[in-house]
Amino acid sequence: MIIIPAIDIKNGKCVRLRQGRMDSETVFGEDPAAMALRWEADGAEMIHVVDLDGAVEKKPRNLVSIKRILDAVKIPIQVGGGIRDIETIEMYLSVGIRRIIIGTEAIRNPALVEEACRNHPGRIVVGIDAREGLVAIEGWTETTRTRAVELARRFEQSGVAAINFTDIHRDGMQTGPNLEATRELAESVSIPVVASGGVSTLRDIRNLMPLEPFGVIGVITGKALYAGTLNLKEAIDLTR
C-alpha cells in the first residue's frame, strides 16, 4: 500500500478544504512545488495534485503551478480537477503528468473515460467522491443518485488504472477513513482502489492496511501531513 501526499491548489497556493467547501480553506504554503519537494524527500512515490479552481470552473486553472511541480520533482504526478475533455487529458500527458483523474465526466460522459483508457492504457484514474454512498460531482457541489459502487462497476472492463475513492464527509476532517465503504467498493470491482478522506494518524494507516488483500493499493492523505498529526516517513516505513 503506497502513501500518496495530496497537494490541493487554489489561486496558485497549497491549501486544504474542509469537506470540499471552497469557502473553508486553510493555506499551508505559497509554493506547491516546494511542498512537492518536501514530500519527495520524505520518500513519497507519487503525488496527488488537485486543481481546485479547475474543478469549479471546469477547465485547468493552475497549470503554471502544476508545471512547476513537474519541474521540481522526479516522482510521478497524478492530476485531477477540471478535466472535462480529451484535449485536456492530452495536454496534461504531453507536459509529463503520469496519471489523469476523471471525476465529474465519469458520470456525465463515461465514453470519455473509455476513450481515454483506450488511448492511454494504465494512465487513467476514475475519481469517485461519495456523500453517504452517493456520487458527488462538479467540485462536490452536486450529489447524484448514483451509488459509488454502481459507478465503479460501470468501468470494470474499461482498463481504468485505479479508482480514487473519497468519503466527502471525512475529507479534511481527520476523523478516520471510512473503512467499511472503502472495503465494500474494493470488493465490488477488480479495479485497484486508492482510499482518501479522513486520515489523521498512523493508526488510520494501520487500520487501512488489512484492506490491501481486497484491492486497496494506496491511500491519499493531505490535512494530516500539513497539520503534523501524521509523519510521512513513518507512514511509508509502516506500509513497507
- Cα(49)–Cα(189) distance, rounded to whole angstroms? 25
Q: What is the distance between the alpha carbons of residues 118 and 123, in angstroms, rounded to a whole number? A: 10
Could you say which of 53, 129, 171, 204 is catalytic? Answer: 129
**Residues 196, 220: contact at Cβ < 8 Å?**
yes
Q: DSSP secondary structure string, the chain?
A: -EEEEEEEEETTEEEEEETTEEEEEEEEES-HHHHHHHHHHTT-S-EEEEEHHHHHHTS---HHHHHHHHHH-SS-EEEESS--SHHHHHHHHHHT-SEEEE-HHHHH-HHHHHHHHHHSTT-EEEEEEEETTEEEETTTTEEEEEEHHHHHHHTTTTT--EEEEEEGGGTTT-S---HHHHHHHHHH-SS-EEEES---SHHHHHHHGGGGGGTEEEEEE-HHHHHTSS-HHHHHHHH-
Active site residue 129: yes
Amino acid letter for position 235: A
Counted residue by residue, the chain has a size of: 240
Residue 8 known to be catalytic: yes
Instruction: Please identify every residue annotated as catalytic.
Output: 8, 129
